[in-house]
Structure 1
Amino acid sequence: MSTNTAVQAGRPSRRARGASSRPAGGRNELGTALVFILPALIGFVTFFLVPTIRGFYFSMTQYNILSTPKWVGFANFAKIGTDPLFWNALGVTIEYVILNIGFQTVIAILLAVLMQRLTQSTLLRGALLLPWLISNVIAAMVWFWLLDYQIGIVNQFIEWTGMNRIAFFGDEFWAIPTIAFVNVWRHMGYTALLVFAGIQTIPKYVYEAAAIDGSSEWNSFWRITMPLLRPVLAMVLVITVTGSFQVFDTVAVTTRGGPVNVTRVFQYYIYQKAFAEGQFGYASALSVILFIILAVMAALQLRLLRAGESDLA
C-alpha cells in the first residue's frame, strides 16, 4: 500500500466529517421545543387569533346573536362616523388615558429612582406590587366605599377639615380623574418595578464618571438615566397606553358610564352595544376601530421613542 493510499485511508470522508460536525440530538431538541411551544400556540390560536378573525367578520354584519349574521359590508363603520356617542366615548377615553398615563409614568419613575438610591430591601420592593395583585373589581369597590359621598372615610376627613364633601364618582368634573387615580394607585407599583429593572441595566461607572466631572444628581438623572431608559420606557408606555385604552372594570363597578356619559369609556360603550342592546355587529365594528387605534399608537410610540436603539451600544 502506498503512502498516499494510507493517508487517504486514515482521513474520514467528507460525509463522515459533515455528520460528525452536526450537534447530536438536534432534531430531538427541536421536537422538545415544539412540545413546549404547542400549548401556548394552541391557546393563542383558540383565544386570540380565531376570535379576532371572527370579530372582523362580524363587524361586516348585522348580528344580534339570536339570528343568522346578515352581511352589510362597511355599513357599521359608516354609522360609527356619525355616532355622537362614539365620539363622546373616544374623547372620554383619551382624557382618561392622558391622566392615567401622565401620573402613573411620573410616579413610577420617581419610585424606581428612590428604590435605586435609598433602599435595597426586597420586602419593600415586593410591597409595591400588592395593589397590582388585587383584582380590578375589588380595588374599584374598595375605593368606591372609601370615596363614597355619605359614608366614605375620605369625605368624612374632608368635612372634618372644614371643607365641603366631594361626590368623587358622581360629579361630572371629578368622575374621570377619580377613576384615573384608582388605576394609577393600582398599577404604579408594577410600572415602577419595570422601570427599576431598566435602571439596573445602566452601568454604575457611567454615574461615577459623571460624578467625577461634577455632575449633580439632577443632571445625571436627565442626562444619563432618562436617555438610557428610553427602550424600557417605550415598552412600558406601549403596555400602559394599550391597557388604559381598554379600561372597563373600574367604570362598570363604580359609575356605569355616568353621570351623563362623562365616564362612558370606549370599552364600556362596546359592552353596552353588544350585551345591553344586542348589536353585536356594531360592537364588533367598534372593537375593530379600537384595534386599529391601538396598533397605530403602538407603532408610533415605538418609532418616535426609537425603542430598538440603545445609547449604551
Structure 2
Amino acid sequence: MAVVSVPKKKRKDDTRLAILFIAPALAGFLVFMIWPTLRGIYLSFTSFNLLTPPEFNGLDNYIRMVQDPVFWNSMVVTVYYVIINIALQTAFALAIAVMMQRLTKRTWLRGVVLTPYLVSNVVAALIFLWILDYQLGLGNRVLELIGMDRIAFLADSAWVIPTIAVINVWRHVGYTALLIFAGLQTIPETMYEAGRMDGASELTMFRRITLPLLRPILALVLIITVVGSFQVFDTVAVTTRGGPVDSSRVLQYYIYDMAFGRFQFGYASAMSVALLLVLIVITFLQYRLTRAEQSDLA
C-alpha cells in the first residue's frame, strides 16, 4: 500500500513584522540614548562652551574632577540621599505590597496607591515647598498645634536631604509597591497554607517564605530605584537649588549648573561619564550580590 506524504505547511516568517514594530523604539533608543551617550563621552575629553567648536584637551576634565572638592561633596550628598531614599522607599513599599497581598486585592486600592506617581516631580516639589514653608507652611502650623517648634525643613542643612528624600518617597513608593505586589503574585498560595498548618505566624511566614521567594523581584526593584535615586534633580532644582551652602547640591544638579549655568559642557560631560561608570559598577554589584538571576521557586 502506497503511503501518501502530506507536505508540511510552511511556517510563516514574522521577522519583517517584528522589525517593523521594533523599529520606532529602536530608532528612539539610538537617537535619544546611544548617540547622546557617545557624544557626551567625546565631549568629556574636550573644552566646549557651546559658542566655539570643541577643543580636545585629553584628560584635563577628569584631572580637574578628581581635584574638585565641590564634585566630591556632591557625590557624598548624593550617596547620603540615595541611602535615605532607598531605605525608606523599600521599607514602605514592601509593607504596602504585603498588606495589599495579605489583606485585600481590590483594584481601586491599587489605583489609590499609584496616584502620587501620576503627579510630576515638579508639581510634587512645589506642593511640598508650600507645605513645609517655615513661615506659612501647613506642616509647621501642625507642629505648632502639637506643641513643637517650627522646623526649616528645606533651609536647614541637617534637614534638607532627608526632607527631599521623603518628598520623593511619597511620589514613588506607590509605583515601587506595585512592582513588589506583582512579584508577590508569583508566590504560590500553597506555601502560606503549609506555613499555617505548621503553626507559623504572619511575621514568621514573611521572614521565611515571602522575603526569600521575593528576592529576585526585590533585586530588580533595588536596581531600578538606586539608578533613579542617583539621578535626582528636579526636586532639588525646584525647592533648594543646591542650598543651603551646597548641603543639597546633588551630583545631577552640579552637572546641570556646570553645563547650563556656566557653559562648561566638557567638564559637565566628564562628571556625567563618571556618574555613568558609578551606576554601572553599582548595578553589577547589586546583580551579583542579590543573585537576581536565580529564583528559589525553581
User: Please, what TM-score do these two structures have when normalized by structure 2?
Assistant: 0.98
Match in the other structure for 1:227:
212
Change (3 A) 1:74 1:11: farther
Matched residue, 1:100: 85
Letter in 1 for 2:123: I
Could you say which residue in structure 1 is the equivalent of 2:124? 139
Q: How does 1:253-264 map to 2 (within 5 A)?
A: 253-264=238-249
Q: Which amino acid aligns with 1:303?
A: R
Q: Deviations over 1:174-212 (max 9, x none)?
A: 000000000010000110010011011100001111111
Cα deviation digits, residues 74-115 of structure 1 (max 9, x gap)? 111111111000100000000000000000000000000110
Shift of 1:157: 1.3
Query: How far did 1:21 drift?
Result: 5.7
Runs of 4+ in 1 over 2 A off after TM superposition: none
Q: What SS does structure 2 have at the residue aligned with 1:129?
A: helix
Q: Distance in 2 between matches of 1:208 and 1:93?
A: 44
Q: 2 CA distance for matches of 1:283 and 1:120? A: 47
Structure 1 CA distance, aligned partners of 2:227 and 2:42?
A: 23
- 2:226 paired residue number: 241
Question: If you compute each CA radius of gyration, which structure gives the higher value, 1 or 2?
Answer: 1
Q: How far apart are residue 282 of structure 1 and its match?
A: 0.3
Structure 2 residue aligned with 1:49, among 30, 34, 37? 34
3-state DSSP of counterpart to 1:171? coil
3-state DSSP of counterpart to 1:128: helix
Q: Distance in 2 between the 1:133 and 1:163 partners? A: 33
Amino acid at match of 1:301: Q
Post-superposition Cα deviations, 1:138-195, rounded to whole Å, max 9, x if no partner, equal: 0000000000001101101111222211110001110000000000100001100100
Return 157-166 or 91-100, whichever deviates more. 157-166
Which of 160, 163, 171 is matched with 2:148 structurally? 163
2:255 is equivalent to residue 277 of structure 1:
no
1:82 aligns with 2:67: yes
- Summarize the alignment of residues 165-204 of structure 1 with structure 2, pairs less than 5 Å apart: 165-204=150-189
Paired with 1:282 and 1:306, the residues of 2 have a C-alpha distance of 36
Choose which of 27, 37, 53 in structure 2 pairs with 1:68.
Answer: 53
* Gap regions ≥5 residues in structure 1: none
Partner of 1:39: 24
CA-based RMSD of the aligned residues comes to 1.2
Tell me the TM-score normalized by structure 1. Answer: 0.93
Letter in 2 for 1:311: D
Which ranges in structure 2 are unaligned for 5 or more consecutive residues?
none
